[in-house]
Amino acid sequence: QLLLQESGPGLVKPSETLSLMCNVSDASISSTTYYWGWIRQTPGKGLEWLGTVNYSGTSYYTPSLKSRVSISVDPSQNQFSLRLRSVTAADTAVYYCARLTGDAAFDYWGQGALVTVSS
Amino acid sequence: DVQMTQSPSSLSVSIGDRVTITCRASQSISKYLNWYQQKPGRAPNLLVYGTFTLQSGVPSRFSGSGSGTDFTLTISSLQPDDLATYYCQQTFTTPYTFGQGTKLEIK
């Protein structure tokens, strides 16, 4: 059974960089069939797609965050990561990693990681 | 960005009801419409992709329909386990966008 697991600090100070890792189990992140993505959820804005990356590092980002966000893949560790620079309180959210299928749907999700931005 | 508008935002339902949730896109998204179910404290769970196709393991009481800009998720006979919030999502073009959600509550 494919599992995705987010990890990283639960508290980040304003203006610093939010970094999360997603570990993928029982599936190869090097598969050419899938992309891997990050989605966040807040009570105010709901579900927001942040970006996706494939095994070779080809990535797509939401324009509203494009200057601050980067997603990378580490095939040797079967992981992919999210970095969000210069965070503010508005970046406080539950962050999910997920797999994007060839049918363009997110079929497996991590359990979510709550990240709070506060000094 | 493609705006996704769901209606209603909440719905009071009874067990056994036929439930219909609608999702409208601000532009044509062909068939690239997905539906997710989310329960409190859990990640969203894919129910339907490509407008019509049921994800493996999803009960057949769920069905999806629509095309272009107007889409529907139908639950033919609501079961207790279906009380949750439902989201539509378009993956026709980036940025992929979600509807604001429809929360099903017991009447």
pLDDT in tens, A56-112: 999 999 999 989 999 999 999 999 999 999 999 999 999 999 999 999 999 999 999
- How distant is the Cα of A82 from the closest Cα of chain B, in angstroms? 17
Q: How far apart are CA B46 and CA A95, in angstroms?
A: 17
- DSSP character string of A81-92: EEEE-S--GGG-
Half-sphere exposure of B67 (CA within 13 A, CB side): 0
CB contact under 8 A, A105 and B101: no
pLDDT of residue A25: 96
pLDDT of residue B1: 97
pLDDT of residue A18: 98
* Phi, then psi, of A64 in degrees rounded to 5: -65, -20
pLDDT at B56 over 90: yes
pLDDT at B65 over 90: yes
Percentage of chain B with pLDDT > 70? 100
Chain B interface test: which of A4, A106, A108 (most B C-beta within 10 Å):
A106
Q: How far apart are CA A62 and CA B95, in angstroms?
A: 5
Considering only CA atoms, which of B94, B5, B99 is closest in space to residue A37?
A: B94
Q: What is the mean pLDDT of residues B91-98?
A: 97
pLDDT at A44 over 90: no
pLDDT at A43 over 90: no
Q: What is the mean pLDDT of residues A50-57?
A: 94
Pair type for strands B70-75 and B62-67: antiparallel
Q: What is the mean pLDDT of residues B59-87?
A: 97
Average of per-residue pLDDT values in chain A: 96
- How distant is the Cα of B16 from the closest Cα of chain A, in angstroms? 27
- Residue B72 near chain A (CB below 8 Å): no
Q: How far apart are CA B28 and CA B5, in angstroms?
A: 13
Interface of A with B in 46-75 (CB under 8 A): 46-49, 60, 62-64
- How distant is the Cα of B74 from the closest Cα of chain A, in angstroms? 19
Q: What is the mean pLDDT of residues B1-20?
A: 97
